[in-house]
Amino acid sequence: MGEERIQIVTDSTADLPEKFAQQYDISVVPLTVNLEGETFVDGTLSQREFLQRMEAADELPQTSQPSPGDFIEVFEERAQQGPLLCLTISHKLSGTYQSASVAADVVDGEIEVFDTLTTTGPQTAIVLRAARMAESGCSMDEIIEHLTDYRDSQVTRFGVTDLTNLVKGGRLSSWQGAIAGLLNINALLQEKDGALELLERVRGTEQLFERLAEMAIEALQEAEDRIVVISHVDNEPWVERMIERLKPYDPDEMLVIPAGAVISTHGGRGLFVVSV
């Protein structure tokens, strides 16, 4: 056990609920979003307001990682209080991990940067694991060893019901998006080594929901001590249904996390993420 409590820092793509940030004294370094020439900090607009503005815009918003300076400012303040563990979005999804790593090399003190290899709800699950272990007095090595095992065993699926943003963002061609729309095709994505890849093309939203539920149930049956995290972009009906589907399998904890502006930009309205 360490003598000094490990302090936790993360970035805003975790969509960490404010109650947890306050409860565990977690610092959140925000990304920024540029929408039609206006730049604002991730988390400052409600999901509803952001979606309305995003969908009315001609172009997809641009998201930007924090600079090393943004992390340096937080690290310098927190490092005076003891060791720091910074948990970031996957390096394959953002340059945030690199910015945090550069900052950690500059600031004096014990600072470790951990790549969660994920984002949004699954990232929050890892952050909470770290915070709770730190609160119990675990050492840096103990926390990182546990987080590595937990991260590598996470099962996460992303259900994309509206491919518009994938087309706007250049991840899908316009004709592919048009055909998908005509055929009512949805995308089921999985995480692999920190990157998102297409797992299945699913016809119809109901079939997509069923595939997400099947994945979560299978993972719950095979795992112990699991936090189920549901992240979504304006998809409350699926949240309620998924909770009811998973309750009989007695998860240790279930969290519902509305996605912030950065995740909403890339996933679009209806995005639904389940992680076990």
Among the candidates 153, 169, 186, a domain finishes at 153
pLDDT of 177 above 50:
no
pLDDT at 4: 86
State the residue range of the domain holding 81. Answer: 7-31+66-153
Single residue among 153, 182, 215 that ends a domain in this structure: 153
Within the chain, residue ranges assigned H as helices are: 18-23, 47-56, 68-79, 96-106, 120-135, 140-153, 164-168, 174-182, 205-222, 236-246, 261-267
Residue 209 included in any domain: yes
Contact 195, 93 (CB under 8 A): yes
Residue type present at position 80:
Q
Are residue 126 and residue 180 in the same domain, yes or no? no
Separation CA 16–CA 37 (nearest Å): 27
> What's the whole-number mean pLDDT along residues 24-49?
95
**Can you give the CATH number for the domain in which 92 is found?**
3.40.50.10440
Residues 112 and 239 grouped into a single domain = no
Give the pLDDT score at 143: 98
Query: Are 219 and 242 within one domain?
Result: yes
Question: Do the Cβ atoms of 75 and 105 come closer than 8 Å?
Answer: no
Is 82 inside any structural domain?
Answer: yes
Per-residue pLDDT band for 226 (boundaries 50, 70, 90) equals: confident
Is 99 part of any domain? yes
Range 145-156 average pLDDT: 96
Residue 48 included in any domain: no
> Do 79 and 215 share a domain, yes or no?
no
What are the backbone angles phi and psi of residue 203, rounded to the nearest 5°?
-90, 115
**Is 39 a member of any domain?**
no
DSSP state of 89: S
pLDDT band per the 50, 70, 90 thresholds, residue 170: low
The answer to whether position 221 is within a domain reads: yes
Amino acid at 182: L
Q: What percent of the chain has pLDDT over 90?
A: 78
| Burial of residue 164 (number of CB atoms within 10 Å: 0-12, 13-18, 19+) | middle
Q: Which range, 34-38, 162-166, 172-176, has the best average confidence (pLDDT)?
A: 34-38
**How much is the pLDDT for 227?**
87
The residue among 134, 153, 172 that closes a domain is 153
The answer to whether residue 222 scores a pLDDT higher than 90 is no
pLDDT of 41 above 60: yes
Distances in Å between the Cα of 6 and the Cα atoms of 49, 82, 98, 179, 248 are 36, 7, 21, 51, 36
Structure confidence at residue 181 (pLDDT): 53
In angstroms, rounded to a whole number, what is the distance separating the alpha carbons of residues 138 and 8? 13
Tell me if 2 is assigned to some domain: no
CATH of the domain at 221: 3.30.1180.10
- Residue 12: its pLDDT value, please? 98
165 and 70 housed in the same domain: no
In a domain, 140, yes or no: yes
Per-residue pLDDT band at 187 (split at 50, 70, 90): confident
Does 226 share its domain with 268? yes
202 & 251 share domain: yes
What is the structure's pLDDT at 76? 97
Same domain flag for 125 and 18:
yes
pLDDT at residue 167, as a whole number: 60
Shared-domain flag, residues 25 and 135 = yes
Question: Quick one: pLDDT at residue 175?
Answer: 45
Q: Are residues 140 and 190 in the same domain?
A: no
For residues 36, 40, 41, 45, the Cα torsion angle rounded to the nearest 10 degrees is: -80
* Collapsed DSSP state (helix, strand, coil) of residue 258: strand
Q: How confident is the model at residue 174 (pLDDT cuts 50, 70, 90)?
A: low
Assess whether pLDDT exceeds 80 at residue 178. Answer: no
| 140 and 162 assigned to the same domain | no
Buried b or exposed e, range 90-110, using 16+ CB within 10 angstroms: bbebbebbebbbebbeebeee
What average pLDDT does range 259-268 have in this prediction? 93
- What integer pLDDT is reported at residue 168 of this predicted model? 64
Q: Does one domain contain both 100 and 212?
A: no
For the ranges 195-199, 209-213, 243-247, the lowest mean pLDDT is seen at 195-199
Written as six digits, the tokens of 20 are 């947890």
Average pLDDT, the chain: 91
Count of structural domains within the chain: 2
Section 28-39 average pLDDT:
95
